[in-house]
A and B are shown apart, each in its own frame.
Chain A
Amino acid sequence: MNRGSVPRRAMRRFGEARFSPARVWAMLLRYLYILRSSWPRTLELLYWPTLQMLIWGFMSQFLAQNSSYIAQAFGVLLAAVMLWDLLFRSQLGLSISFLEEMWSRNLGQLFVTPLRPYEWLISLLAMSVIRVAIGILPAMLLAIPLYHYSIFELGLPLVAFVVVLMAMGWALGLAICGAILRHGMGAESLAWTVIFAIAPLSCVYYPVTTLPGWLQPVAWALPSTYVFEGMRAVLFEQAFRTDYFLAALGLDLVYLAVGATIFFIAFRDARHRGALLQMGE
C-alpha cells in the first residue's frame, strides 16, 4: 500500500474556511456530470419549452387574425409562455438537482465532507441557471425563424423580468426542497405541482383585472404577477413599469428569505432526526 501525499495543513485550512468556491464548483461539476450522463434528460429539458412555444406560436398566429387583443401585440402570448416556462424551469432546475441527491441516497456521504449546506445551495442555484439556459434559450431562438418574433426585442426589461422570475423560482424551489427534507420522498411531487397552483394567480395570459376583486390582492402578492403585467405594459404601451419591477424585487427578497429559512430549518431538523443518512428512495 502506498501512502498518499495529502497536504494536511493546507487541507485543515480548507476545511475551516467559511466559504469555498472550490466546493461549490465540485458540486456544480457533479450535477453537470449527472446531466451529461443522460442525453434523454438533456433532451427533456428542451422538449417541453419548445413544444409550448410551438403550440402558443401557432395559436398566436391564428388569434392575430381574429382577435384585436393579439393583433395589438403579436408576441404577448409567446412572451408570456416563455417567461412562465422560465419561472417553472428555474424552480424545477433547483429541485431536480436536489432530488438527484435524494434518489442516490447521497446526503450522508456529502455532509461528512467539509461541504457547508449553503455551498450546496449555491451550487443548486447555479445549476438552476444552467438548466434554464439549456431549456429556454433554444425555444426563444426557434421562435425567431418560425414566427418572426424575438422575445429579445423586449430589450432591457427582459433582463428585469428574468431576474425577478429566476429569484421567485429559487424561493419556491428552496421551500419545496425544505418540505422534501422534512417529509421525505412522499413530498417529491411538490417539485412538479406547486408552481401550477400559482399559475392562475400570476395572470400569465390575462390582466389582473380579469380576476374577481377579492382575489386581486392575492395575485399582487406574487412577484410573477408584476412581471406579466409589466410585460404587457412593455408590449402594449411601450412602457417599462419601474414601480412593478421594484415591488417584484422587494417581494422576491421576502420570498427568498422565507424559502431559505424553510430550507435551513428543515436541514437542521433532518440532523435532529437522523434523516441525512436515511433519506432517499
Chain B
Amino acid sequence: MPEPVILVDNLVKRYGSTVAVDGIGFAVERGVTAALLGGNGAGKTTTLSILLGLLLPSSGAVRVFGEDVLRHRYRVLPRMNFSSPYVDLPHRLTVRQNLQIYARLYGLTRRAERIERLARDLQIDKLLDRPAGKLSSGQKTRVAIAKALLNEPELLLLDEPTASLDPDTGDWVRAYLEDYRALTGATILLASHNMAEVERLCSQVMMMKQGQIVDRGSPGELIDRYGRTNLEEVFLHIARDKRMLEPVS
C-alpha cells in the first residue's frame, strides 16, 4: 500500500496554557481532496502551518511524502504550495513581477512560459502588468492560486480558498481546483468553514473542535451518521453540542 502523502500523528501545539492543536492524527492519500472543517479557533490554520513548516509543533510527528517535515522540510517544500487570503503579495509589484520572483524561488526554468500559461488558465492574463495592490478580492484570489500552482505542486494546502469571494467567483475557483486535481492527480488539503465548498470538493473530512478531530469521514458518511440533510447541519450539531465529543483516534 503506498504511503499517504500526509501523515500526522499525535500532533500537539500549545501556546502557553492554550492548546491550539490537541493530539490530532490523520492521513491523506495521494490524489485525495481532504478538508479540515471547524469553526474559528478549531486549530485548522495551525495544523496547515505546521504541515508547511511555518510553525513548530510542541510534540507529535508530521510526515509529508514520507519525509519528516520537522527535520527535512526543504526536501518537500518544492513539491508543495500554499494559498491563503490572509497572506498577501507585495502590493507595489505587478502580478507578473510577483509571479516571476516566486517562479525563481522554486527554481523553474521556463518561467515566462509557465506564467503565461497559468495566467490564461486562471484568466488573469489582463492583470499581469497591474500592481497586486490594485486588484479586487476575486482577482487577488486568482493570482494567489496562480502563485500556488507555479511549481505544479503535488500537494496543495489551501486556507479558506474562497473566503470573501462572491458566489460566482467562489464557484469558479472550486471548479478550477476540481479540474486541477483531476488533471494532475495532486493531493489537496483545505481548511475551511464553508460547508458547501467542502461538500463539493472533498472526499475526506476531519471535523475539528477545540484543537481535536471530533469526527471524520466522507461528507456523505458524516451526514448519514448524524441523520442530517447536509454538512452544515452536521457542523452545527457538533459546534453546538454542549457535551465535549469524544475525539476520534
Check B114 for interface membership: any CB of A closer than 8 A: yes
Of B77-85, B165-173, B202-210, which stretch is located at the interface? B77-85
Docked complex Cα distance between A4 and B86 (Å): 27
Among residues 189 to 224 in chain A, which have CB atoms less than 8 Å away from a CB atom of chain B?
none
CB–CB B114/A104 < 8 A: no
Check B104 for interface membership: any CB of A closer than 8 A: yes
Docked complex Cα distance between A5 and B103 (Å): 13
Of A55-63, A254-262, A270-278, which stretch is located at the interface? A270-278
A105: contacting residue among B75, B87, B102, B110, CB under 8 A: B87
Chain A residues whose C-beta falls within 8 Å of the C-beta of B100 in the assembled complex: 29
CB–CB A271/B78 < 8 A: no
B107: contacting residue among A3, A14, A30, CB under 8 A: A14
Check A111 for interface membership: any CB of B closer than 8 A: yes
Check B12 for interface membership: any CB of A closer than 8 A: no
Given that A11-B151, A15-B74, A30-B93 are known contacts, is A113 also in contact with B117, CB under 8 Å in the complex?
no
CB–CB B104/A29 < 8 A: yes
Chain A residues whose C-beta falls within 8 Å of the C-beta of B80 in the assembled complex: 112
CB–CB A5/B110 < 8 A: yes
Chain B residues whose C-beta falls within 8 Å of the C-beta of A280 in the assembled complex: 88
Docked complex Cα distance between A148 and B53 (Å): 57
Docked complex Cα distance between A157 and B215 (Å): 71
Among residues 110 to 166 in chain B, which have CB atoms less than 8 Å away from a CB atom of chain A?
110, 113-114, 117-118, 120-121, 131, 147, 149, 151-152
CB–CB A114/B109 < 8 A: no
CB–CB B107/A277 < 8 A: no
Chain A residues whose C-beta falls within 8 Å of the C-beta of B152 in the assembled complex: 3-4, 6
A108: contacting residue among B84, B91, B179, B180, CB under 8 A: B84
Binary per-residue interface labels of chain A (7-29) against chain B in the complex, 1 for a CB within 8 Å, 0 otherwise: 11011101110001011011101
Check B217 for interface membership: any CB of A closer than 8 A: no
A1: contacting residue among B55, B76, B180, CB under 8 A: B180
Given that A11-B151, A22-B107 are known contacts, is A113 also in contact with B102, CB under 8 Å in the complex?
yes
By Cβ-Cβ distance, the 6 closest A-B pairs, closest first, are: A15-B78, A14-B107, A26-B104, A108-B87, A113-B105, A104-B90
For A269, give the chain B residue with the smallest CB separation. Answer: B56
**Chain A residues in contact with chain B, CB under 8 A?**
1-8, 10-12, 14-16, 20, 22-23, 25-27, 29-30, 33-34, 37-38, 100, 104-106, 108-116, 268, 271-274, 276-277, 280
Chain A residues whose C-beta falls within 8 Å of the C-beta of B102 in the assembled complex: 109, 113
Docked complex Cα distance between A271 and B46 (Å): 11
Docked complex Cα distance between A197 and B165 (Å): 48
Chain A CB count within 10 A is highest, among B107, B109, B152, B184, for B107
Q: Could you list 13 examples of A-B contacts with CB < 8 Å?
A: A4-B149, A6-B114, A11-B106, A14-B78, A14-B107, A15-B107, A16-B74, A20-B107, A112-B77, A113-B77, A114-B107, A116-B74, A274-B55
Docked complex Cα distance between A23 and B105 (Å): 5
Docked complex Cα distance between A203 and B216 (Å): 68
CB–CB B87/A12 < 8 A: no
Chain A CB count within 10 A is highest, among B86, B90, B183, for B90
Chain A residues whose C-beta falls within 8 Å of the C-beta of B104 in the assembled complex: 22-23, 25-26, 29
For B97, give the chain A residue with the smallest CB separation. Answer: A33
Docked complex Cα distance between A278 and B90 (Å): 15
CB–CB A105/B88 < 8 A: yes
Docked complex Cα distance between A109 and B143 (Å): 13
Chain A residues whose C-beta falls within 8 Å of the C-beta of B97 in the assembled complex: 30, 33
Given that A1-B180, A5-B110 are known contacts, is A104 also in contact with B74, CB under 8 Å in the complex?
no
Nearest-neighbour CB distance to chain B for A260, whole angstroms, equals: 20
